[in-house]
Structure 1
């Protein structure tokens, strides 16, 4: 079986999925340890028996709905290549909006030294993206799952990011006495009964990283209420949240005393990130 034949077979197997052709190419490129360009350049290159077996097994997993990021064990985010795990959320492009807003604030305020905390860091995506763009900043990412802490640490090492560290912490529990210029978080924010939990890749992701009470806001409420103890004067608190939660998150921030509260949209024009300053 050649590369082009393998891809044609895989697309047929995955017919009806969201992106059969893209999925097949990403999976095959990973097995061959080559770039996507290689697949176009050498379509008639034959696969060996082991590669065919691995490819068929991976396509079978994808056909059952397992996310490509879990099958290949990696996902690109920002300027990083991150290892993934079924114990953490898969980094998504819309989360880059949260990184952008934190960077905008950092560039406008130019605090030295700059301290940043990422709550519920998962793969470390947000913390590592900020650390890579702000090499003079001190970044800490926390997660209550020790597996996530180990994964984020591995991602820091593989991307040569040296100004970020990761700690096991139930939100602020391991941060007593510390204060930050920026706190960012992509916390669980889906309603426990949401039908979204039974669709697509989300079916395979850990529910503890997805759901947060009846209205999806339990964790955001907790962070908003506790964060003033860990924020410096004028510091930024910024969240990723659901497309229909902008009003609620703004109201939570305003009721707690935050100022300059604003919601920005993601790349699909949905409310996605809300932030405010603690004065």
Structure 2
């Protein structure tokens, strides 16, 4: 039976809607665009195309994976973030749009010469910053060797491999020197909140990148205790936080002697970034 992309998409959308509800039509369109090898903004123009049995099988397999709550980025292997498209695997946190707030804030100050990204994961934050600052050099750390492999691929995608060093390290362990700009999106979800996460996140993303357990603040205690030894004079630091953690994280840094600590919101009005200036 000859089938068009539109026919196959319609069937897949119905199946996916029954499984996950809201968001299914958009997810199905993303998967069809991926199947056809076209950009999303061209998909409508391609829906009259005849699809091969191989393409039908590929699309149906992806629909069933998404119906089982596998994240779209893990199915397609990519995620758009800032001005780029990055490789994503189950070994790294899926980049979220709200994390772009960190990039925006980091770009409001003087151009840094040195950048440190702690817990770099996919490397998307470091890659974006190095792409924006072509004269800067960067270091990314992560405790996961598999994550660093993904980060290396993403740094290469933006042409920044020659200006970046990746270190397998637990936060500041193995890091020497001072940096003009220090950034991190650390694990901050509390142990209690983990049970309430969607299956897409809870069952498919690395728990080490999501939660430190307990009150979710242990990473900030480590960052605050070591930041002064690694932030250059007039340097700046930006750390992503959970939407209700601003005052607690602000207090943690203040207790370490940092006087200039501010909280910034994302586009949804949620507390998202704590900014720290050199004491």
Q: Same fold (TM over 0.5)?
A: yes
Flag as ranges the 4+ runs of structure 1 deviating above 4 A. Answer: none
1:105 and 2:109 matched = yes
In 1, Cα distance between the equivalents of 2:73 and 2:146?
17
1:91 to 85, 90, 95: 95
1:209 and 2:217 matched = no
- Alignment check: 8 A CA contact 2:138 2:164 kept: yes
Deviation of 1:195 (Å): 4.6
Matches for 1:48-127 after TM superposition, within 5 Å: 48-106=52-110, 110=111, 114-127=113-126
Aligned to 1:238: 238
- Scaled by the length of structure 1, the TM-score of the pair is 0.94
Paired residue secondary structure (1:258): coil
Deviation of 1:103 (Å): 1.1
Deviation of 1:196 (Å): 5.4
- Scaled by the length of structure 2, the TM-score of the pair is 0.94
Paired residue secondary structure (2:159): coil
Paired residue secondary structure (2:95): coil
Paired residue secondary structure (1:172): coil
In 2, Cα distance between the equivalents of 1:200 and 1:29?
24
Per-residue CA distance 1:115-168 (angstroms, 9 max, x = gap): 110000010011011001011111111111011111111111122224333221
User: What is the RMSD of the two structures over their aligned residues, measured on CA atoms?
Assistant: 1.4
Aligned to 1:140: 139
Structure 2: give runs of 5+ residues left out of the alignment.
none
The aligned length equals: 273
Aligned to 1:222: 222
Aligned to 2:25: 21
In 1, Cα distance between the equivalents of 2:165 and 2:35?
31
Paired residue secondary structure (1:86): coil
